[in-house]
Amino acid sequence: MQAPQEDSAALDGLAQEAAVTVRGLLDTHLFTMGNQDVTVSNILAALLVMLAGFFLSQASRRVVRGIFRARRVYDEGLIGTAQRLVRYTILVLVIFLALDQIGIDLSTLFAAGAIAAVAIGFALQNILQNFVAGIILLVERSITPLDVLNVDGQIVRVVDMRIRSTIVRTLDEEEIIIPNAQLVQSSVKNYTLRDPLYRLRTQVGVSYSSDVDQVFKVLMDAATTIPNQDTKRTPVVLFTEFGDSALNFDVSIWVRDPWLTRRTRSELNHSIWRHLKEAGIVVAFPQLDIHFDPPGHPNAPPAPRALG
């Protein structure tokens, strides 16, 4: 009956010896950081904090996406930027916690970091400006992917928005990388900010012998046949001026997709030309009449006098 008790006591003794051994290993001094001794347990705690922070940062991507989905926001550029901001914030906090476990004085680190931040700020001023501008665009949402913009007189479509720059595509299918600071600091036309409607205008001049009322009707008929225009708004025809050699008219339609402006303008010009030609209305062109008055004519200039 005493054998089981002896075995149990032996096992307890072995467990106690193992615990003492493990505790001794964990308390093993590795090096000194400032006024604090760093042991194996400190290193293991820092590694566990970093490992937990890594998994937390990965899980934050799904959490952020779920929050946006719950609010019915499906903008992938906006979601991706928010995911990166949350992930970087978590990683920075985890690094500070891990350093605290090792025994590094964070107040000293913050002071040194502030000095380094000032130096780095001067060196990376443009990058920091673009980074802050990216956050502003993220919060304001004045520009989002698939928006059609006019940047420096060029129509472009937003392809991707990143924290430092925005990628756009031109009508010639060329991709341009625009620093975010440029989009924030300069005037940018956003044709799709509130609605995709865009007013497309073209001018045409007809002969002075034309019937103005007939020209109005023909131009209105030509404009109403154009596809890709908003049916809730009727085209507008304006008699703008008496030109040097033509009666000038302005024709406007509202298109639903500003990205198709160039093709729609071509269709509108073609329709105007065809309708005017079918109606027998002459499209005016610049002309200059020169009259030669023979010598002795009342309008002729006087003959030059001989010198001497």
CATH number of the domain enclosing 148 = 2.30.30.60
* Same domain, yes or no: 90 and 58: yes
Is 166 a domain residue?
yes
Give all strands (DSSP E) within 111-197, no chain letters. 148-151, 154-161, 165-170, 175-179, 189-190
The Cα 170–Cα 152 span in angstroms is 12
Residue 132 pLDDT level (bands cut at 50, 70, 90) = confident
Is 240 a domain residue?
yes
**Mean pLDDT rounded to a whole number for the chain:** 81
Model pTM score: 0.59
Is 285 a domain residue?
no
Residues facing residue 175 across a β-bridge: 169
Of 180 and 23, which is predicted with more confidence? 180
CA nearest neighbour of 265 among 176, 209, 170, 199: 199
* Same domain, yes or no: 205 and 186: no
Q: What is the domain count for the chain?
A: 3
Of 149 and 231, which is predicted with more confidence? 149
Q: Residue 52 belongs to a domain with what CATH number?
A: 1.10.287.1260
The Cα 283–Cα 206 span in angstroms is 4
Determine what percent of the chain is predicted with pLDDT higher than 90: 33
Is 70 exceeded by the pLDDT of residue 166?
A: yes
pLDDT at 306: 56
Is 297 a domain residue?
no
Is 80 a domain residue?
yes
What is residue 34's three-state secondary structure? coil
**Residues 82-131 pLDDT 10s:** 888 888 888 888 888 877 777 666 666 566 566 666 666 665 678 888 88
Q: Which domain holds residue 106?
A: 21-123
**Residues 16-35 pLDDT 10s:** 666 666 566 666 665 665 56
Is 290 a domain residue?
no
Is 151 a domain residue?
yes
* Same domain, yes or no: 173 and 83: no
Is 70 exceeded by the pLDDT of residue 195?
A: yes
* Same domain, yes or no: 246 and 174: no
Q: Are 159 and 167 in contact (CB under 8 A)?
A: yes
Is 80 exceeded by the pLDDT of residue 206?
A: yes
Is 117 a domain residue?
yes
